[in-house]
Structure 1
Amino acid sequence: MHLTATALVLTALPHGEHGAVVRFLTPADGMHAGYVRGGRSRKIRPVLQPGNAVAVELRSRIDTQLAAATVELVTSRAGLAFDRLTAAITEYLATLTAAVLDEGTPAPRLHAALDALLDAMAAGTSPEQAAAGVARYELLLLAERGFGLDLDSCAATGAREDLIYVSPKSAQAVSAGAGAPYAAKLLPLPALLRDPRAAADWPDIAAALRTTGWFLERDLLTGAAASLRPARARLVALIDATGITTVAPQDAPG
């Protein structure tokens, strides 16, 4: 294998005394792992931080051999580490992607979505938009892994309007009228999961993360990937706390 690409760093794990096994997400060739010689050195370790964009070259003589990788920094997202929310989002999404993607399967939409969210956070997007980006990315990741939600029409009536629920069994949208008798058993469907241009407020973000989280835990965070459930729970708690502290000053009496 010989692959040269601009890629996002997902994870970097120590290997041996000085090296690191790194998982990269490329635009056209999906996720690939490689051994970076000296990956734990002071010079290279900052390059291998999750979320960074790097120029990577991967070489291996046979397909079953871990590729040797050389890297050069293209875009640093080091600034994201100085904010608690953006640091947690970056680490979680990078680790989640590495845990559930099949190696070598092209995922250009995932690469584009993750790169765009990282760019937006680095540019100073609002906490609401960053948190909404987590739910939207999780929704896309489910679709890329074959567990996409059908949010275009009502599972019961076929209607395309007034869709406010999701069936936890069929993963299909349900309209307000059809779902009213079963509301307690249905998941919420906020507009931000159906429309990437929809405004995102904190109650809608919490609702979206509840829905994507239910399907993630059912379909993707199983087996070895189940170890990510506590990390996701911590991120959701941080997002909830951020929403409370952001809204509270506005609601406080003068």
Structure 2
Amino acid sequence: MQLRAPAIVCSSRPHGETAAIARLLTADHGIVAGYVAGGRGRQMRPVLIPGNSVEAELRARSASQLPFAKLELVQSRGPWLTEPLPAAAIAWVTALTSSALPERQPFPALYGALAGLLNAICFAPSARDWAMPLLSYETLLLRELGYGGPQHAPKEDDWQATLHALDAMGRRLDRYLLADRRGDVIAARGLLRERLGRIEG
């Protein structure tokens, strides 16, 4: 296996004393896991922030081997991690993507949608401007995985209806995608929902 492609960091976990295993979303290869040497060091930790856009190069001798990954930072989401709402939203959508998608199956629509959603979360004036795109991304992910999704979206100027739609979607995601996954994945959505609920309707 050998590939070089733009990617979005969806998760990173420690491996050994100094390395990390990153799960990356690419347009043509879907989720790909890679071994990042020095991933826990000062130089690479900022690169492996979930939500970051990177240029990824992955190499493995066989398709069954975990590839070695070299990552170059293209766009950092680090500056938004100090903002409670954007930080919670980025943590949720990347955790969902990393947990729900099977490895090495292309989902080009999801890659484009996630890139656009992350930009909206970081650059929109308020959470009201990206709550509907977040709901749309969750719906698209369900549909791409064959579970269908709600047909009617709430009006964008009805904040309470948006929150109700997010609650309903949360139940669908928990039932269909995350029921047998680690609890901290859906807990990330719970934290986001709690913070969105503090916005006055």
Q: TM-score, normalised by structure 1?
A: 0.75
- Displacement after TM superposition at 1:210 (Å): 1.8
Q: Secondary structure at the match of 2:57?
A: strand
Q: Give 1 or 2 for the bigger CA radius of gyration.
A: 1
- Displacement after TM superposition at 1:201 (Å): 3.3
On the 8 A contact 2:154/2:162 being kept in 1, the answer is: no
Q: Secondary structure at the match of 2:169?
A: helix
One-letter amino acid matched to 2:181: A
1:95 counterpart residue number:
95
User: Is residue 76 from structure 1 mapped to residue 76 from structure 2 by the alignment?
Assistant: yes
- 1:149-188 to 2 correspondence within 5 Å? 149=149, 151=151
Q: Secondary structure at the match of 1:239?
A: helix
Q: Distance in 2 between matches of 1:14 and 1:201?
A: 42
- Displacement after TM superposition at 1:28 (Å): 1.5
On the 8 A contact 2:9/2:23 being kept in 1, the answer is: yes
- 1:189-228 to 2 correspondence within 5 Å? 189-191=152-154, 199-228=156-185
1:230 counterpart residue number:
187
Q: Distance in 2 between matches of 1:200 and 1:140?
A: 21
One-letter amino acid matched to 1:33: A
- Give deviations 1:111-166, integer Å, cap 9, x for gaps: 11111111122223321122222211111111111101262xxxxxxxxxxxxxxx
- Give deviations 1:163-212, integer Å, cap 9, x for gaps: xxxxxxxxxxxxxxxxxxxxxxxxxx5435xxxxxx24321221211221
Q: Percent identity?
A: 39
Q: Distance in 2 between matches of 1:223 and 1:91?
A: 19
Q: Distance in 1 between matches of 2:20 and 2:7?
A: 16
Aligned residues: 201
Q: Distance in 1 between matches of 2:125 and 2:148?
A: 27
1:36 counterpart residue number:
36
Against the structure 1 CA distance between its residues 42 and 227, is the aligned structure 2 distance closer, same or farther, given a 3 Å change threshold?
Answer: closer
One-letter amino acid matched to 1:85: L
- Displacement after TM superposition at 1:221 (Å): 1.1
Unaligned runs of 5+ in 2: none
Unaligned runs of 5+ in 1: 152-188, 193-198, 248-254
CA RMSD in angstroms comes to 1.6
Structure number with the bigger relative contact order (C-alpha 8 A, sep ≥ 6) is 2
1:129 counterpart residue number:
129
- Displacement after TM superposition at 1:54 (Å): 0.3
